[in-house]
Amino acid sequence: MEGVAGVVGMPQVTPGDPEYPQAREWFMRELLALVEGLLEGGADDVSIFDEHWFGRNIDIARLPRGVRACCGKPPYRPDWAGGLDASCDGLILHGLHSMEGAGHLLSHTYEPDFKAIYINGKLVGEIGMETAVAGDFGVPLVLVVADSAGTAEARALVPGVVTVDTKISRSPLGAECLALPDVLDRIHSAAVAVARGPSPASPWKLNPAELVCVFKPGAYLDELRRQAPALFVAGDSLRINAPTATAAWAEYWQAKLKAQAKL
C-alpha cells in the first residue's frame, strides 16, 4: 500500500492506526480501477495476492464476480507462488515502492529488518524479487503501479513493462501527489491496454538462483541466526542456493517463520 496515491507516511498504511481506513479506501479504489480495466480489456481470470502487512487489506465484498483474492499471506512453496503459475499471462504489482536504501519515498524492502537482497548478484527490492518468482513460471512483469521511484526501478529491471505513477517522490517522507481521479483513470487505461496485450516484456528467468539476504542489527537477525545457522555466510548475511528463485525464497520464508515464532 505504500505506493498508493496520497500515501506519504507509514501510519497511513499501518492496520489499526487512525489514518489507515482512509488510505485503505484509496487502495481499494485503485485496485478496483485496475481489476475493472483488466476485465474490460478481455482478461478472463484475475487473481490477487494481498502482500501488505498481514494480508488482510482487501475488501472482498467490493470485488467483481469471479475475481479471487489470496489473503493472510500464506508462504510461498517451491511449487506454489501465491496462485501464480504458468497459466498466467502476466504479473502486475500494485501499490509498490522502491527498495531499501534508495532514499526515496518510503523506500524499504519487504520489512524493516532487510538491509539488502541480492538475487544472482543483482541488488533487488520487492519488485525484483517478485519478478524473479514470476519468471520461474515463465510469467513476465507487465504492469507496475507505484510511486515514481518504484516505477523507475521496474523499468530499469524489465524493459517493456508498463508503469503508472501514483505520485512523484520528493523525499523519504514527501511526495507530489496526483489527484486520485486522475490516477484511477491512468490505472484503468493501462490495465485495459495490458489485458489486450501481448506485452513486449519478457519473463526474468534466473535458474539456478542464489539468494543473499543482508539484515540490519536487531532481535530478528539474532533469532534468525539461532534458527538457521547453516544458512549464514556472515554475521548479518545468509545465502540460499536453489534450483529457482521461488525455491530459494520459500526456503528463506520457512526460516523466517521459525524465527518470528520465537519473538
Q: Give me the CATH topology for the region 10-196.
A: Rossmann fold (3.40.50)
Q: Between 126-136 and 245-262, two packed helices, what is the crossing angle to 10 degrees?
A: 130
Neighbours of 210 (CB within 10 A): 15
Report residue 83 as a C-alpha cell. 496462485
For 45-58, the pLDDT digits (tens) are 999 999 999 999 99
Q: Which of 194, 124, 146 is nearest to 27 (CA)?
A: 146
Supply the pLDDT for residue 236. 98
Residue spans of the chain under pLDDT 50: none
pTM of the model: 0.96
Please calculate the CA angle 73-112-49 and round it to the nearest 5 degrees. 20
